[in-house]
A and B are shown apart, each in its own frame.
Chain A
């Protein structure tokens, strides 16, 4: 495989960097050349964030160019839409549909678009496949809301032709979370897998 490109988007503090790191290690252990791109510092404080995960035999820069992402993993619907131009035509978007309303919206300075409208833009205007579900609810079901990113990673492993083996990704999560959090994360991972399977009809 020459290259596989993932963009991960969300709100600073949601675990975007952690998710990127887990996928990066899984790709490294699968023998690929790996590049991850991220932003630290002030830009991370509850603002909009994007991280890049790239792997394959032929990867160089750490940023995915616009129009070249095979998949988008998004922790928040508006943050998915904000970076929609990174997805390639026919790309896949795995999206947590639970919104985090920005202060500017609460203050009445801006509007939050409807979920239906966001989905329509993905499917119709950008010809992308929409795999949206409330991952936070599933994380709570697994035992803790902080496992939302594990739920989403689980779902990601189920999309067609995803080059990393779900069990390999699971192993990396197992060794990267604190020992007492392993069980709840494994449960979250499984719930994510099931959610994607249900949506994709697998």
Chain B
């Protein structure tokens, strides 16, 4: 099969291809003649941004990896103010970062179509909370479109640009993990001439301070404008091609299915063998188009709303029905769970209960059988990769602090330092929060260096933060800690890419998708801000890293140690592609005493315990040759024995 970046640019209308939901959205944006795209990666939204990065130059689209969601939002918004079609994307928690601009600018509206793609993560597969972006949309009075499958995601993206342009209003395209990371058959549409020719599009900003300057006198005009727009859009959505009524026209029972829940409802009904129901398929959970709703409710005796997470549609439907004097039973969150993601099983169970029929599988029996299997299953949580340089950083931090410090950490793969045996993460809240929390802990435990009164008991605080996160929201927190005379060690785990979301570049990488950007070394920033101690270490050299940590801990004030080595996963991928090899370490049986230091203190996933021989062993397919084990072993039992795989 062809490369995804080629498929997304294919000039083959009508061709059926298999695309990830996020890739389909990128294609939709191109079919809509997008001009500017800016985003910060966040699972499950990242592949949309990566796909745009891969095709932008050929398509004549300006694309950037911004340093955080707020600045990405502003970049795209300003382009939309200049009359261009623009888009930004983020994960649900990313909208919290952009929320300041989002809530204030919504009243100003846009000139060119402006689409905000937000990917929610129900069940929190890769996230720190479970929040429903549709609630944000309602809060801000911005319409939200929610696709039921990858093809619809592409089509909806085009429609979102048109809707935004027509009403000069923001539009949110909301997905969940199961649309963003679902692959499905997508039929390609027409690409505009400008995209085909790769012609960059430029806009023009027309000054209008009464619209674009958010002083109270102007802002007072915005709120009524927003409310007027959203009611007009509600009207418009009666004719939205992604909202429809289907099923038996004379049915007495109805099901309302917004977004992806439509897919689960269709599958559940087929599985139950039920067809005497009417379905309202809603591609626009906010605002619910009342005209269509009224038509749907005609002749129904009861209704079930199958929606994921918050009762956003349910509240609108019930409020409207109450005002209209409609008194038929309307079920929703009484039958459908409000937590975690929707599944076919959940839809089947809710619908079966609603209709008073049996489920096609006795799930209780299946669960009871599975309960007996569970105790046999060893846990297998995700872990820091073999050869991850920051296993060494954590190891050195733990050793230098004798495991007794408080360890605030941050969002990234290094949060996995939480797990045994490293256990070097005590707090993780939100992007950039490690430095802010570290400062707060320092003030609470020890006091500020500038104060006369201090706690007699000093607690050591070591914050860890990744390079991308450092530039995302770590910067203001570091400035705050230095300015307020905090006493903390900040270790920046610099692996030169945004690793967790798929190796996107950031200011520490320097390189952009289109060539050279300008690299900003973290140590230069720390020095310029006035940190009391700044050092750069190579975490593959564990001894020096440990010694530098010791030195940094002796300094009163804010110390910044930058531990720098490229992400191992990224490096190994590149080496594989170039046909390069690396040493594979193995255990010398003569030397291994079975002390388990490599397992109980270091914890590389490539090292396992051989129960029979009572010795450590290396799984050769997983060793990426960093040699950390050889440095950690007190008996010199790890030896590089052969060149690894190509």
Evaluate contact between B382 and A102: CB separation under 8 angstroms.
no
Give the number of chain A interface residues (Cβ < 8 Å): 66
Evaluate contact between A85 and B366: CB separation under 8 angstroms.
yes
> Which residue, of A25, A61, A68, A102, has the highest number of chain B Cβ atoms within 10 A?
A61
Q: How far is the CA of A48 from the CA of B415 in the complex (A)?
A: 17
Given contacts A2-B270, A104-B420, 11 further A-B contacts (CB under 8 A): A12-B382, A13-B385, A36-B184, A37-B183, A40-B43, A40-B502, A43-B126, A60-B149, A60-B267, A65-B343, A104-B379
Shortest CB–CB separation between residue A74 and chain B, in angstroms? 13
Chain B residues contacting A126 (CB-CB under 8 Å) are: 369
Evaluate contact between B373 and A84: CB separation under 8 angstroms.
yes
**Residue A144 at the B interface, CB < 8 A?**
yes
Residues B181-222 near A (CB distance < 8 A): 181-185
Contact with B along A106-121 (1 / 0, CB 8 A): 1111111100010001
Chain A residues contacting B646 (CB-CB under 8 Å) are: 144
**Residue B609 at the A interface, CB < 8 A?**
yes
Shortest CB–CB separation between residue A52 and chain B, in angstroms? 9
Residues A127-183 near B (CB distance < 8 A): 136, 144-146, 172, 175-176
Evaluate contact between B44 and A42: CB separation under 8 angstroms.
no
Evaluate contact between B369 and A34: CB separation under 8 angstroms.
no
Q: How far is the CA of A178 from the CA of B594 in the complex (A)?
A: 42
Chain A residues contacting B419 (CB-CB under 8 Å) are: 103
Give me 22 A-to-B residue pairs in the complex whose CB atoms sit less than 8 angstroms apart, sorted by A's number.
A24-B183, A34-B184, A37-B178, A38-B182, A39-B181, A40-B502, A43-B125, A45-B413, A45-B416, A59-B267, A61-B343, A62-B183, A65-B344, A82-B380, A85-B369, A102-B605, A104-B381, A106-B608, A107-B420, A107-B599, A108-B609, A126-B369
Chain B's interface size range is 35 or more
Contact flag A100-B619 (CB < 8 Å), given A42-B416, A106-B599: yes
Evaluate contact between B1 and A113: CB separation under 8 angstroms.
no
**Residue A44 at the B interface, CB < 8 A?**
yes
Q: How far is the CA of A71 from the CA of B231 in the complex (A)?
A: 49
Evaluate contact between B178 and A63: CB separation under 8 angstroms.
yes
Instruction: Return the contact of B44 from the options A41, A81, A113, A176 (Cβ within 8 A).
Output: A41
**Residue B370 at the A interface, CB < 8 A?**
yes
Contact flag A41-B501 (CB < 8 Å), given A21-B183, A62-B182, A66-B366: yes
Chain A residues contacting B501 (CB-CB under 8 Å) are: 41
**Residue B60 at the A interface, CB < 8 A?**
no
Evaluate contact between A106 and B382: CB separation under 8 angstroms.
no
> Which residue, of B148, B382, B596, B603, has the highest number of chain A Cβ atoms within 10 A?
B382
Residues A22-55 near B (CB distance < 8 A): 24-25, 28, 33-48
